[in-house]
Amino acid sequence: MPAPVFETTVLPHLDAAFNFARWLTRNDAEAEDVVQDACVRALRYFSSFRHDDGRAWFFTIVRNTWYSRISRRTSAADATPLDSRQDGPADAALNPEMRLLQRDTVGRVRQAIERLPVDFREVIVLREIEGLSYKEIATVANVPIGTVMSRLARARERLLAELQTVASVETLA
Amino acid sequence: MSCEVLDQDLEAFVDHELDDEGARRVREHVAQCEGCRVRVAERQMLGRLIRSVPYRTAPDRLRERVASQTSRSLMTRRVFTWAAAAAVIVAIAGGTALLRPSMPDRGTIMAEVVDGHVRSLMANHLFDVQSTDQHTVKPWFLGKLDFSPPVVDLSSSGFPLIGGRLDYIDGRPAAALVYQRHQHTINMFVSDDGRGASTTIERRSLRGFHVRHWTRDGMSFWVVSDLNESELDEFVGALMR
């Protein structure tokens, strides 16, 4: 089997890396910087890339890059201002009233996720949006699988409690 | 099973991380416990809500910055690699002129399948025919292939068919059928196998992509995606039904 090639191992996951970084940083510019730094690191360490999951490997580097950036700052929790950009276009098939309702729902879901502590936020994003297995998440977040499960359980409890009122429009999701 | 037992398995059940036996026990309990049925449904609804938040893709500016960085850094390394490769070729040509080209093994074909998947995403050449209608996609392959790939839409199972294209696997023309699950793309390559024996499903992973392979009705099937393994198995299961 040929040696893995950077362009086909790491670069196809650039979108996923950006989306993940965006959820970690909650800020567009910061996410771009994190992913760019992560690429530099990934290139540098690529010769030591052994196991065969390029995506999880890249996620790990993105996460570590971000952690090392915020550890240089005094207050990690509020280091980066939250972008308050509005959501993209809602589904055009819906009537205007439904569209407003849907946009509102999406906005509230995003806010609820962004308000989660980062330990919870990352497992929710990796599981629900990226579809990583528990084992992969454990590798990326560098915690035991049991911890992944308990964080997921608690994150979901919090989100469900917060979104209880959204439940009435659940059919739109 | 009691509700307390389910507490521990609830997340794993929702996330398809339980083994068959565990999942069966949860299903049996949920079938007769209204409270737990609600808890499972709430979590599934939450998952759908979370995935309804638009995916943020890398801005072009970032893509360009990364591309120029990569090419600069790889340039130096490449020069050495090519020099080494050239030396090897000279050595082989000199020493083993009698070497016969051998049949590619399945590992090589799998690498090809994964490359085909990556290429389809990178080059933005996902479809030759873009349609969610299996009755449009299937006839499109007529006359382009000397076999008839099965084309089924799996929207009802949560894997909508989004198109198809002509591709090559193992030097032979293949039908590539494209399915979608949330933000993930699934490529299914179907080629004429020529041998006709049916095999069981082989599960492999390469470079972060999961691959499923089997042969049936004289055709060889390769399914590849970055989707997690359990959902990919769900896809294969829906396909086999």
Please tell me if residue A12 touches chain B, with a CB cutoff of 8 Å.
yes
Please tell me if residue A77 touches chain B, with a CB cutoff of 8 Å.
no
CATH of A1-79, one of 1.10.1740.10, 1.20.1290.10, 3.40.50.2300, 3.40.50.620: 1.10.1740.10
B46/A163 CB distance under 8 A: yes
**Chosen from B6, B49, B206 to mutate, greatest number of chain A CBs within 10 A:** B49
User: How far, in Å, CA of B218 to CA of B74, rounded?
Assistant: 43
Residue among A7, A19, A163 whose CB faces B70 most closely: A7
Distances (CA, A) of B103 to B107, B109, B167, B171: 11, 10, 20, 11
User: If you average pLDDT over residues A34-38, what whole number do you get?
Assistant: 93
A132/B48 CB distance under 8 A: no
Residue B100's pLDDT is 39
Whether B183 contacts A30, CB under 8 Å: no
Fold of the A92-173 domain: Arc Repressor Mutant, subunit A (1.10.10)
Whether B46 contacts A163, CB under 8 Å: yes
Q: Which residues of B touch A6 (CB under 8 A)?
A: 70, 74
**Chosen from A52, A61, A101, A137 to mutate, greatest number of chain B CBs within 10 A:** A52
Q: Is the pTM of this model over 0.90?
A: no
In Å, the largest CA–CA distance within chain B is 75
For the segment B142-170, what is each residue's pLDDT rounded down to a tens digit? 877 888 888 888 988 899 998 888 888 87
User: How far, in Å, CA of B12 to CA of B2, rounded?
Assistant: 16
Q: Which residues of A touch B111 (CB under 8 A)?
A: 1-2
Cβ neighbors of A171 (< 8 A, separation 6 or more) are none
Whether A137 contacts A126, CB under 8 Å: yes
Nearest to B170 by CA among B115, B239, B214, B97: B115
Tell me: pLDDT of A110 over 90.
Answer: yes
User: How far, in Å, CA of B97 to CA of B140, rounded?
Assistant: 44
* Domain regions of chain A by residue span: 1-79, 92-173
Residue B193's pLDDT is 75
User: If you average pLDDT over residues B16-45, what whole number do you get?
Assistant: 90
B97 falls in which pLDDT band (50, 70, 90)? very low
User: If you average pLDDT over residues B179-184, what whole number do you get?
Assistant: 88
Neighbours of B4 (CB within 10 A): 7
Residue A171's pLDDT is 46
Neighbouring C-alpha atoms within 13 Å toward the C-beta of B20 = 2
Tell me: pLDDT of B12 over 50.
Answer: yes
Nearest to B48 by CA among A163, A140, A121: A163
Average pLDDT of the residues of chain B? 81
Whether A140 contacts A126, CB under 8 Å: yes
